[in-house]
């Protein structure tokens, strides 16, 4: 008998034949999750034959990500919807392969290493702000994406992507479209001839070809390099992958190297650019928060450019960043598949269930956040993090599979936000733009802004 046999069956809506709860979800995902709250903190339902479970209780979220992490894997559906691309990257691998990759890559994201990138991050942000002001009007998400992509490419990979930005943006757009709530590509079999699939595959193939060129260029460069530099140790992530050897004496395959680049070039820049985009949107909804942010940076930054040493004094900037990530977590939700029966919140979740951890819903739970839908950075002033459950706020995930680039992204967001706020005004023209629920959690329409020098 199963050790979870005494646990109760999951409560939840009945849904319709075949499609289950998909129609309600696609019609209004936010209303759908509001309705799920009525069933409790762990809720079951079905979509197109999939057994689904949404986890809304922080303690159960902690079980999924930490205490019962071995009972879960990343869903195959994520890799399948991307035609297998990124499946060998650290975001989607499992078991011993994932552990070996994580151990190899982790030193690139130690605090001491990440802090060496601070001046470069702020320098790129200052240059971007000047360019935005010169242009006068920008598409905020596009401009923020260009900024974070340049930062990532130079710091982690030591490459210049200026001639390949369009290819990377096309790939990122395809991934975002597939990840949107209600996307048919994640619900229907691969043999269904959706027009979007053909377009997305072309984007994947172009990006694949661009990465192959980058990899071969670096191989040639390493072959001609003076190994006495840096004691022969790789000083960027791409060079590390090309020179790596795992404990079992195996080396990363070309597919693995490509998928790691895809993973970091997409997830590593897109999530931070979305957070920066939402920061400008939310600051414009409450002008007094923008004024307070600018007052702080004017008093702290000596030359208008933030540095790592300034972060301790940029307290309000830190609160703004935390509040942005609470209301608009870039991933929107995390997904896992159960590989065995598991008990969550007193309920039995059967093997083969897709488990959804909706960050946007958990992080706006009125039990833990007063006036939860309002952008209020000052809520973080009085030790809020110590007063709420550990997993009531988890924008970077948690447990052994927390975001490997968490420190990088958190520092980049704060340095860029402070540096830009010090030099320009970003006046968003449509600050009431709604989010489009999906992975990632992006605006439902283009965010346009007028940018002027201060």
- Which pLDDT band, with edges at 50, 70 and 90, does 198 fall under? confident
Inter-CA distances, 420 with 61, 92, 290, Å: 35, 34, 12
Higher pLDDT, 54 or 202: 54
Q: Say if CB 241 and CB 257 are below 8 A apart.
A: yes
With a CB cutoff of 8 Å and minimum separation 6, the contacts of 165 are 146, 149
Higher pLDDT, 176 or 91: 91
Structure token digits, residue 228: 């006495």
CA distance linking residue 389 with residue 42, whole number of Å: 16
Instruction: Note the pLDDT of residue 143.
Output: 97
Higher pLDDT, 218 or 234: 218
Instruction: Note the pLDDT of residue 2.
Output: 47
Poorest-pLDDT segment among 6-10, 294-298, 340-344, 401-405: 6-10
Mean pLDDT of the chain: 91
Poorest-pLDDT segment among 177-186, 344-353, 435-444: 177-186
Instruction: Note the pLDDT of residue 159.
Output: 87
In degrees rounded to 5, what are phi and psi of residue 54?
Answer: -100, 135
Tell me whether residue 190 is in a domain: yes
Model pTM score: 0.92
Tell me whether residue 344 is in a domain: yes
Highest mean pLDDT among 150-154, 210-214, 292-296, 441-445: 292-296
Instruction: Note the pLDDT of residue 188.
Output: 59
Instruction: Note the pLDDT of residue 229.
Output: 55
How many independent structural domains does the chain possess? 1
Tell me whether residue 6 is in a domain: no
Tell me whether residue 208 is in a domain: yes
Compute the average pLDDT of residues 150-166.
88
Compute the average pLDDT of residues 187-213.
79
Compute the average pLDDT of residues 315-322.
98
Tell me whether residue 355 is in a domain: yes
Tell me whether residue 418 is in a domain: yes
CA distance linking residue 3 with residue 21, whole number of Å: 29
Instruction: Note the pLDDT of residue 223.
Output: 81
Inter-CA distances, 114 with 120, 159, 179, 377, 451, Å: 11, 17, 29, 25, 30
Higher pLDDT, 242 or 183: 242
In 3-state terms, what secondary structure has residue 52?
Answer: strand
Instruction: Note the pLDDT of residue 369.
Output: 98
CATH number reported for the structural domain that contains residue 83 in this entry: 1.10.630.10
| Neighbour order of strands in the sheet with 137-139 | 137-139, 448-453, 424-428
In 3-state terms, what secondary structure has residue 361?
Answer: helix
Compute the average pLDDT of residues 153-157.
92
* Cα-to-chain-centroid distance, residue 208: 21
Tell me whether residue 8 is in a domain: no
Instruction: Note the pLDDT of residue 176.
Output: 78
Tell me whether residue 2 is in a domain: no
Instruction: Note the pLDDT of residue 56.
Output: 98
For the chain, what is the largest distance between any 2 Cα atoms, rounded to a whole number of angstroms? 69
Compute the average pLDDT of residues 246-269.
92
- Which pLDDT band, with edges at 50, 70 and 90, does 257 fall under? very high
Poorest-pLDDT segment among 15-19, 70-74, 132-136: 15-19
CA dihedral 265, 271, 272, 275 (to 10 degrees): 160
Poorest-pLDDT segment among 120-124, 264-268, 407-411: 264-268
Instruction: Note the pLDDT of residue 343.
Output: 97
Give burial (CB, 10 Å; 0-12/13-18/19+) of 440: buried
Poorest-pLDDT segment among 104-108, 190-194, 315-319: 190-194
Domain that holds residue 381: 22-453
Instruction: Note the pLDDT of residue 1.
Output: 34
Q: What is the pLDDT of residues 4-32, one digit of tens each?
A: 556 689 999 999 998 999 899 888 888 99
Q: Say if CB 421 and CB 101 are below 8 A apart.
A: no
DSSP one-letter code for 399? G
């Amino acid at each position: 008998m199963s050790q979870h046999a005494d646990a109760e069956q999951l409560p939840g809506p009945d849904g319709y034949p075949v499609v289950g709860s998909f129609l309600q979800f696609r019609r209004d995902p936010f209303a759908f999750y509001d309705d799920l709250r009525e069933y409790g903190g762990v809720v079951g339902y079905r979509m197109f034959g999939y057994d689904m479970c949404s986890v809304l209780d922080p303690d159960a979220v902690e079980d999924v990500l930490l205490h019962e992490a071995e009972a879960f894997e990343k869903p195959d559906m994520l890799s399948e919807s991307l035609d297998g691309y990124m499946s060998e990257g650290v975001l989607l691998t499992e078991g011993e392969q994932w552990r070996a990759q994580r151990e190899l890559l982790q030193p690139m994201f130690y605090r001491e290493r990440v802090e060496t990138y601070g001046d470069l991050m702020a320098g790129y942000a200052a240059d971007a702000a000047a360019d935005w002001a010169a242009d006068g009007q920008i598409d905020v998400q596009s401009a923020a994406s260009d900024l974070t992509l340049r930062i990532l490419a130079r710091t982690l990979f030591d490459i210049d992507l200026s001639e390949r930005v369009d290819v990377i943006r096309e790939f990122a757009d395809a991934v975002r479209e597939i990840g949107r709530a209600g996307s048919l590509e994640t619900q229907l079999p691969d043999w269904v001839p959706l027009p979007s699939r053909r377009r997305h595959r072309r984007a994947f193939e172009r990006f694949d070809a661009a990465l192959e060129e980058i990899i071969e260029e670096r191989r040639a460069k390493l072959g001609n390099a003076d190994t006495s530099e840096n004691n022969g140790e790789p000083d960027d992530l791409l060079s590390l992958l090309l020179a790596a050897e795992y404990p079992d004496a195996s080396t990363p395959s070309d597919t693995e190297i490509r998928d790691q680049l895809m993973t970091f070039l997409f997830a590593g820049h897109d999530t931070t650019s979305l957070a920066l985009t939402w920061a400008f949107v939310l600051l414009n909804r409450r002008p007094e928060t923008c004024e307070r942010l600018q007052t702080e940076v004017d008093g702290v930054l000596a030359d208008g450019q933030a540095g790592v040493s300034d972060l301790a004094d940029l307290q309000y900037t830190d609160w703004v960043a935390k509040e942005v990530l609470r209301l608009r977590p870039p991933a929107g939700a995390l997904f896992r598949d159960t590989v065995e029966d598991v008990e969550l919140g007193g309920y039995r979740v059967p093997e083969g269930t897709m488990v959804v951890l909706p960050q946007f819903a958990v992080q706006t739970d009125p039990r833990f956040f007063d006036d939860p839908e309002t952008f209020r950075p000052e809520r973080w002033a009085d030790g809020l993090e110590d007063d709420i459950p550990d997993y009531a706020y988890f924008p970077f995930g948690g447990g052994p599979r927390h975001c490997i680039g968490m420190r990088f992204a958190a520092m980049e967001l704060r340095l860029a936000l402070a540096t830009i706020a010090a030099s320009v005004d970003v006046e968003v023209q449509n600050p009431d733009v709604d989010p489009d629920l999906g992975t990632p959690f992006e605006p439902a329409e283009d965010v346009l802004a007028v940018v002027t020098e201060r």
